[in-house]
A and B are shown apart, each in its own frame.
Chain A
Amino acid sequence: MENLDLLMQIYVFVLAIFVGFELITKVPPTLHTPLMSGSNAISGITIVGALLSAGAQEFTISTILGVVALIFATINVVGGYLVTDRMLKMFKKK
């Protein structure tokens, strides 16, 4: 059963990569910087794992690691989305 779970996760991983390729090849070069910073913010999704470690019941070494990870991931998420928005605001057609 455990192996089947892993297998399903690999399915999801491979299919998501294909979705990514399809989507990203359609992004025009003019938006490549915001694409990079915006996708960068998405990679901060690891924040979910950080929250689970930082909020565990007992204070252990994994809480400390979780809090540091949480700080890193939050910088990534907040900084990434805000700076992308700041850039995209500027793209205007006259």
Chain B
Amino acid sequence: MQVVAYLVYLLASVLFIFGIKKLGSPKTARQGNQLSALGMLLAVVVTLLDQHIVSYEYIILGIIIGSLIGGILAVKVPMTGMPQMVGLLNGFGGGASALVAFAEYFKEADMGLTFEMSTLITIVLSILIGSVTFTGSLIAFGKLQGIVTGKVVKYPLQNPINIILILAVVAATVIVVMEPSNINVLYGIGAVSLLLGVLLVLPIGGADMPVAVSLLNSYSGLAASMTGFVLSNNMLIIAGALVGASGIILTMIMCKGMNRSLMNVVLGGWEDAGSDSGAALDGPQKTAKSIDAEELAMLLDSVQSVVIVPGYGMAVAQAQHAVRDLTNILEKKNINVRFAIHPVAGRMPGHMNVLLAEAQVSYDKLFALEDINDDFPNVDLAIVVGANDVVNPAARHDEKSPIYGMPILNVDYAKTVIVNKRSLNVGYAGIQNELFFYDNTLMFFGSAKEAINSLNNELKAL
């Protein structure tokens, strides 16, 4: 029976791998996710047949409660709330791993087993990573939901405190290994880890959440892997490692998209950006030109190619459907419409793509930065909807700018740039955007949804 179980675990591992492989294309992605879910189902079913499982009441209770909560969350969450949702789910995964490690410790202690050193170390790692993921994700959720401040939070002695806490965990691990029966030390490790999760995520600013959520995603996988070591279960090790790798890759892509190191993001960088630099503030006062919906409609009537650059502002204003309508109207006029998506647009990797997919924009109209950037000189009109720092040309030439070196979408190379924004306010990096004052830039003021809708009405009236 044990052999069968292990073979099914192997099958489940293979299904996870195939599932992720099929995420390589939007055509097969849904099937891939279903294969992965099938793997999970098989793993659960074969575990339920395990001879160590004798009472099913609590299992049924737990599965019903968990399924209800998970199911309701999955059905109810709006697409704009997806970053929070993923943040929260990361936390539950990490929390579960930490709890399983604790449970395993008690189980073995009750049976009077002597612990291997390696088991104790993996139990500690499982508790550490799982707990950090749990509270870190709750803070990330709070920041994305607006419950916790989205600002960069600095507290005194930030780094020394974190280093001391990590050293404390290391010291406690040594004590646990020498004296495995000392449960209080294990509780202490759990408590310190929970605190560490809060302290590590609190300093990270709202717009850096794509990095934080990716990193926590990676941690939740690593926590599962560590639990796999505790239970000597290769399936958990494999599944966790896949997720760990996924989160790390996404984290690196996000950091590259901002031209910042992981350390800089994690420590809450860009702190003094606003005061130190801001060439536009020191320079001669320039004025931005603006355009209203009626004029813009007439301008659009005369162009052939349009590229829309969505940003977090589109998500906040829930303007994705209005943008879709605009796309349809323009396409009816035989205008070529494409979307340029910056890797860090929004609050999580791929955030804009999901919102546009929700609004039924065909995914083949969505282009990544490297695929569209060289084409901007051939574009008649670039429309920036709720994006700011990712289109700031200062990143290309102003060495003093905090965002210098960050890859940006070269919208300023288009013949005309329309920037839809509520005001001339600074973006997340806290710097003025010189693009607003360019000769070929026209500001189209207003909240994204109302502004685009009024534009659509004007276009229809033409």
Q: Which residues of A contact B (CB under 8 A)?
A: 2-3, 5-6, 9, 12-14, 16-21, 23-57, 59-63, 65-94
Chain B, interface residues (CB within 8 Å), range? 35 or more
**Which of the segments B53-61, B158-166, B197-205, B440-448 contacts the partner chain?**
B53-61
Q: Do B53 and A56 have beta carbons less than 8 Å apart?
A: yes
Q: Do A62 and B73 have beta carbons less than 8 Å apart?
A: no
Provide the residues of chain A in CB contact with B96, threshold 8 Å: 44, 46-47, 50, 69-70, 72-73, 76
With A26-B24, A34-B33, A69-B96 already in contact, the answer to whether A39 and B70 are too (CB < 8 A) is no
The dominant DSSP class at the B interface is helix
Q: Do A36 and B242 have beta carbons less than 8 Å apart?
A: no
Q: How far is the CA of A73 from the CA of B364 in the complex (A)?
A: 35
**Which of the segments B213-221, B271-279, B378-386, B393-401 contacts the partner chain?**
B213-221
Q: Do A23 and B357 have beta carbons less than 8 Å apart?
A: no
Contact residue among A21, A40, A56, A89 (Cβ-Cβ distance under 8 Å from B245) = A21
Having A29-B341, A33-B82, A40-B89, one finds 6 other A-B pairs with CB under 8 Å, namely A32-B350, A34-B23, A62-B107, A67-B58, A67-B61, A91-B26
Provide the residues of chain B in CB contact with A56, threshold 8 Å: 52-55, 107
- Give the interface centre of B40, B55, B100, B246 by most chain A CB atoms within 10 Å: B100
**Which of the segments B226-234, B408-416, B454-462 contacts the partner chain?**
B226-234
Q: Do B363 and A80 have beta carbons less than 8 Å apart?
A: no
Q: Do A75 and B21 have beta carbons less than 8 Å apart?
A: no
With A17-B245, A79-B85, A87-B82 already in contact, the answer to whether A39 and B363 are too (CB < 8 A) is no
Provide the residues of chain B in CB contact with A6, threshold 8 Å: 118, 229
Q: How far is the CA of A56 from the CA of B59 in the complex (A)?
A: 10
Chain B 244-278, CB within 8 Å of chain A: the 1/0 string? 11110110010000000000000000000000000
Q: Which of B79-108 contact A (CB under 8 A)?
A: 79, 82, 85-86, 89-90, 92-97, 99-100, 102-104, 106-107
Q: Which of B23-68 contact A (CB under 8 A)?
A: 23-27, 29-30, 32-34, 36-37, 40, 43-44, 47-48, 50, 52-56, 58-59, 61-63, 65-67
Q: Do A42 and B86 have beta carbons less than 8 Å apart?
A: no
Q: Do A44 and B104 have beta carbons less than 8 Å apart?
A: no
Provide the residues of chain A in CB contact with B341, threshold 8 Å: 29-30
Provide the residues of chain B in CB contact with A93, threshold 8 Å: 26-27, 362-364
Q: Do A20 and B29 have beta carbons less than 8 Å apart?
A: no
Q: How far is the CA of A63 from the CA of B360 in the complex (A)?
A: 46
A78 to chain B, nearest CB (A): 3
With A2-B116, A69-B100 already in contact, the answer to whether A74 and B65 are too (CB < 8 A) is yes
Q: How far is the CA of A1 from the CA of B85 in the complex (A)?
A: 43
Provide the residues of chain A in CB contact with B50, threshold 8 Å: 51-52
- Give the interface centre of A27, A39, A62 by most chain B CB atoms within 10 Å: A39
B185 to chain A, nearest CB (A): 17
Q: Do B24 and A36 have beta carbons less than 8 Å apart?
A: no
Q: B417 interface residue, CB < 8 Å from A?
A: no
Q: Do B37 and A81 have beta carbons less than 8 Å apart?
A: yes
Contact residue among B16, B85, B227, B242 (Cβ-Cβ distance under 8 Å from A49) = B227
Contact residue among A14, A21, A94 (Cβ-Cβ distance under 8 Å from B362) = A94
Q: Do B43 and A23 have beta carbons less than 8 Å apart?
A: no
Provide the residues of chain B in CB contact with A23, threshold 8 Å: 17, 20-21, 24, 242
Q: B209 interface residue, CB < 8 Å from A?
A: no
Contact residue among A17, A29, A42 (Cβ-Cβ distance under 8 Å from B350) = A29
